A = this chain, B = another copy of it.
Amino acid sequence: MAAPDDDDGGALRWRVLARTQVHDYRIFRSMAVRAAHPQTGAERDFTVLDTPDWVNVIALTPADEVVLIRQYRHGADRVHVEIPGGMVDPGEDHGAAARRELAEETGYTAAEWRHVGTVEPNPAIHGNRLFTWLALDARPTTATELDAGEVISTFTVPLAEATAMLRDGRIDHALVVTAFAHLALATSALRRP
């Protein structure tokens, strides 16, 4: 079997001909991309969004409770249950961003940190990456520092309750679910249900 991220000998990869900015929305910039079909050479236009890298954190307390937050999200126009996270600042290490976001959003800090997974949030439209960190023995030690416009409520639940919340959809933010996927797959293999 060919390596599964192979390009089938160039049969799949489009050739980018031009890339121009359409609009700057601050949280991302929309770009118009002109590209040539890998097999026919036919040209088409696509929209992509230039977006900074993101980070999120599964923080476990000494009692193995997960630190969760409630936060209003403007795209969905409702409050979601999430894990702490945010944008990686320009030039910032993603591990440093994880520590910073956990402390700023929840006031928790942790002694032990492990990078447990990296995903591309939505490669059809974004080129950025999301780095997930696991923070062990996390404790509330510091004051929160919220950005203007951030309104966040912090709470903790046992891992069994977090499992139930993922199963029944109370946790349904895809980028939070991906973080827990890496935690689940660290100790379990996929099986036919």
Contact = CB atoms under 8 A, between A and B. Distances in A.
Interface residues of A, number: 94
A103 B152 CA distance: 43
A79 B47 contact: no
B159 A190 contact: yes
Contact of A166 (B76, B123, B185): B185
Contact of A173 (B77, B79, B120, B167): B120
A19 B78 CA distance: 15
A15 to B, nearest CB: 10
A163 B189 contact: yes
Nearest to A45: B26
Interface of A: 1, 4-8, 11-14, 16, 22-23, 25-28, 30, 33, 35, 37-39, 44, 46-49, 60, 64, 68, 70-81, 116-127, 130, 134, 136, 148-149, 151-153, 155, 157, 159-160, 162-163, 165-167, 169-170, 172-175, 177-178, 180-193
